[in-house]
Amino acid sequence: MTATTDTAAAVQEWLARRRDIDIARSLRRLFHESGAKPSGWRSRRDKAVVMADAELAAFLKSVAAAGPDGWREEIDRVRLRQVKAARKRGRKPEGVSAPALSLAAIVGLLPTWRAWGRMLIDAGKVPSMGN
């Protein structure tokens, strides 16, 4: 009986990790900037993936309400996490010049962002979001 329980727990853990990786991919596209596009939603699918997580959605609504500075702050937070992880592994960090945001850094920040979203929900301070 414990083998089934252990297997079920392992599957649930794997599914949660898989969901977080899908969310991280959507967030990486959300945070992507170029000369042609500021940070923001690129597709309905990415938005749906992220908005299905109520706590994360609450947090991102507050980031969107803060405008470009809010997006920049979260992008910088991801890059800082990348730098710290590189240093911990004994590598020279790419940091700001890194070509892409690290999925591992984004996944690592999800619990923090969810906690902040939970605080916004509990305080009744979740901004509305257009479109």
Residue 130 belongs to a domain:
no
CB contact at 8 A, 48 and 19 = no
Q: Which of 73, 62, 72, 70 is nearest to 128 (CA)?
A: 62
The backbone torsions φ and ψ at residue 18, rounded to the nearest 5 degrees and listed phi first, read -60, -45
Q: What is the pLDDT of residue 45?
A: 85
Burial of 94 (0-12, 13-18, 19+ CB in 10 A): middle
CB contact at 8 A, 25 and 101 = no
Q: What is the pLDDT of residue 86?
A: 81
Residue 131 belongs to a domain:
no
Count: domains in the chain: 1
The backbone torsions φ and ψ at residue 16, rounded to the nearest 5 degrees and listed phi first, read -65, -45
13: containing domain: 6-123
Residue 105 belongs to a domain:
yes
pLDDT digit string (tens) for the chain, length 131 residues: 466 788 888 888 888 889 999 999 999 888 876 555 565 666 788 888 888 999 999 999 999 899 889 988 999 999 999 888 888 888 776 655 566 888 999 999 999 999 999 999 999 999 987 54
Residue 1 belongs to a domain:
no
Residue 74 belongs to a domain:
yes
